């Protein structure tokens, strides 16, 4: 059975993620991954507080790592840029979902 033929129980987290970004392409997998990484809920709803809160906690942990072990400023800059890209990708997935469901 291919990834496109999977049947998840209605209402399950997996089913919601498939609704957000169906398919097995790299882009679809990235969309589902960033959505989960930002602790987002159902695909119909985007939560800025969750997205920014998750990024803030991750960057705070990065600051602790920076202060304790890895004193390279590029580490913090890279982490901030990575989360900006993750937030942008997840927001784009949400917009594409809303357009499809339209």
- Over residues 46-64, the pLDDT tens digits come to 999 999 999 999 999 999 9
Q: Is the pTM of this model over 0.75?
A: yes
Number of domains into which the chain is organized = 1
- pLDDT at res. 85: 96
- Residue-range definition of the domain harbouring residue 48: 3-101
What are the Cα distances from residue 21, in Å, to 14, 38, 45? 11, 15, 14
Question: Tens place of pLDDT for every residue, the chain, 102 residues?
Answer: 444 446 777 778 888 999 999 999 999 999 999 999 999 999 999 999 999 999 999 999 999 999 999 899 999 999 999 999 999 999 999 999 999 987
Which residues have CB under 8 Å from 32's CB, separation 6+? 17, 18, 20, 21, 93
Distance, CA of 96 to CA of 25 (rounded, Å): 15
């Amino acid at each position: 059975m291919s990834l496109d033929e999977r049947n998840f129980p209605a209402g399950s987290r997996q089913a919601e993620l498939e609704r957000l970004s169906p398919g097995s392409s790299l882009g679809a997998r990235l969309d589902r991954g960033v959505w989960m990484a930002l602790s987002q809920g159902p695909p119909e709803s985007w939560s800025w507080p969750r997205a920014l809160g998750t990024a803030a906690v991750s960057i705070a942990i990065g600051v602790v790592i920076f202060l304790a072990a890895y004193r390279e400023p590029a580490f913090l800059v890279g982490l901030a840029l990575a989360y900006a890209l993750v937030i942008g990708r997840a927001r784009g997935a949400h917009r594409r979902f809303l357009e499809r469901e339209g």
